[in-house]
Structure 1
Amino acid sequence: MTRSATTPTEPATARKNVVRSTNENPKCDAPDAKRILIVDDHPLFRKGLEELIQSDDSFAVCGEAGNAAEAMDVIRKLSPELAIVDLSLPGANGIELIKNIRAEFPKLPILVLSMHDESLYAVRALRAGADGYVMKHEAMANVIQAIREVFNGRPYLSPAMAAQVITKFAHRHAEGEMDAVERLSDRELEILELIGKGHEVRQIAKLLHLSPKTVETHRAHIKDKLDLKNSREVARFALQWLNAREA
């Protein structure tokens, strides 16, 4: 069966949210190919990942989305068999999206493909309901294997991330300690990272599609949870934490 290409009279929203339900990707009609959704806000990365995935005849990218709201819409319309999700999305972040997918589509496998190479993010993604976690710089080497593992019902962590998670938890168990930032919510952690990168409240609000007041409230919660005195100490802590992670 061949689908007709998008016509000029088709609503713009249909072209935006279901970008791979047209002849642009005939593999979507392959009866044996596993249907995969890509959720990432960078079109060039989505394109490269699509080409990599479709180099294997077992898989077909049947949909893509640039944010969490679009992703939920595409899942409802196309019923993919796997969702690949980036954590850094505009508006609702990837962790929130994973939780929303789990609530509405509890059996849909989710693989996280993220720029974050800190085990804290991998653990939070898995706790939220993800089935696997691959760092973007490892995608070329590991994403096909990760997809296969997840489709076979086995959780997947890339080798470097698995080693980092094991080391962190072994150390924490031995020392009986808890990293201070683990007290933060997913959104607070995201805001702490942006503060560490030098962003002001209004810039963070624009990046995350939040009001400045909401960002200020999150910053106040960060201050209280980390036992800091003021916003200047929050900024100093955020910078030191970010530098320590990147060292």
Structure 2
Amino acid sequence: MTNQTTWQVLLVEDHPIFRDGLAAAIGLDDGFTVAAQAATAQEALTAARTTELDLVVMDLGLPGCSGIEATRDLKREHPQIKVLVMTMSEDDDSLLAAMRAGARGYLLKGAGRDEILRALHTVAQGGAVFSPHMAERLGPLFASFTGAAAQQAFPTLTAREREVLGLLATGLSYRQIAESLYLSDKTVRNHVGAIFAKLQVRNRAEAIVRARDAGLGT
């Protein structure tokens, strides 16, 4: 984040009416300024090179180069910029591809203004956020995607603990992990406590560093 009183936002969306409506909604929050808009991946990359940005709201269905590729290129050139995907795509492949590319959030276009602004604040502050419908599928998806790697990196953890650690590494809160795995908050915190003890780390930040060093959450 830059040393400013507001976060600078780039909107990447090829439908001008939707983009204008989104810009108007974001503009109602004093915490954000829509610094640039783009209709293609190339326009987004150009804007990122010429404008000081903190956040990007990225559509996936862009003409030519996809939003996934655009996110990957943006994160490669400007790793400090945080990306929130906003799309119509509800399929698992798009969700996983966005996370792999470096997105910190995944919202469906049916989200209301308050949900969008909450998501932007969460992502701007370093967290991760997902539409409830997508969050429900994160646990099983993440388990199938990273299970073998996590088992090799953390053999002392149980399968559920590895699953929790992986979701923790993506930036999810304890409540979001609980919702995605259909667990209570207390159960998630118990798992996290066991993870800390087994990995010999003192806190969440140290656990996330260990997880990301092993390739989880990226």
Query: What TM-score comes out, normalization by structure 2 length?
Result: 0.61
Deviations 1:85-124 (A, max 9, x none): 1000011100100110111111111110011112321111
1:110 aligns with 2:98: no
Larger RCO (CA within 8 A; separation ≥ 6) = 2
Partner amino acid, structure 1, of 2:59 = D
The 3 A distance-change label for structure 1 pair 170 and 104 is: closer
How big is the alpha-carbon RMSD for the aligned residues of Structure 1 and Structure 2? 2.0
1:58 aligns with 2:25: no
Specify the SS of the correspondent of 2:10.
Answer: strand
Structure 1, 107-116 or 141-150: larger mean CA deviation: 141-150
The 3 A distance-change label for structure 1 pair 118 and 128 is: same
The 3 A distance-change label for structure 1 pair 168 and 73 is: closer
Specify the SS of the correspondent of 1:100.
Answer: helix
Query: What TM-score comes out, normalization by structure 1 length?
Result: 0.55
1:88 aligns with 2:54: no
Question: Please, which of 91, 94, 99 is the counterpart of residue 121 of structure 1?
Answer: 94
Match of 1:137 in 2: 110
Question: Please, which of 38, 43, 46 is the counterpart of residue 19 of structure 2?
Answer: 46
8 Å CA contact 1:115, 1:136 repeated in 2: yes
Partner amino acid, structure 2, of 1:47 = D
Percent identity, aligned pairs only? 35
Q: Which runs of 5+ in 2 are unaligned?
A: 148-218
Specify the SS of the correspondent of 2:34.
Answer: strand
Partner amino acid, structure 1, of 2:121 = R
Match of 1:157 in 2: 130
The 3 A distance-change label for structure 1 pair 160 and 129 is: same
Name segments (4+ residues, structure 1) moved above 2 Å. Answer: 164-174
Q: Distance in 2 between matches of 1:130 and 1:169?
A: 15
**How many residues get paired?**
144
The 3 A distance-change label for structure 1 pair 171 and 125 is: closer
Q: Which runs of 5+ in 1 are unaligned?
A: 1-30, 175-247
The 3 A distance-change label for structure 1 pair 70 and 172 is: closer
8 Å CA contact 1:40, 1:67 repeated in 2: yes
Q: Distance in 2 between matches of 1:169 and 1:93?
A: 23
Q: Distance in 1 between matches of 2:84 and 2:30?
A: 19
Partner amino acid, structure 1, of 2:111 = E
8 Å CA contact 2:8, 2:35 repeated in 1: yes
Q: Distance in 2 between matches of 1:59 and 1:158?
A: 21
Residue 171 of structure 1 and its aligned partner are, at CA, apart by 8.1
Partner amino acid, structure 1, of 2:120 = I
Q: Distance in 1 between matches of 2:105 and 2:98?
A: 8
Partner amino acid, structure 2, of 1:158 = S
Q: Distance in 1 between matches of 2:6 and 2:73?
A: 26
Q: Distance in 2 between matches of 1:172 and 1:59?
A: 34
The 3 A distance-change label for structure 1 pair 157 and 141 is: same
Residue 166 of structure 1 and its aligned partner are, at CA, apart by 2.5
The 3 A distance-change label for structure 1 pair 154 and 172 is: closer
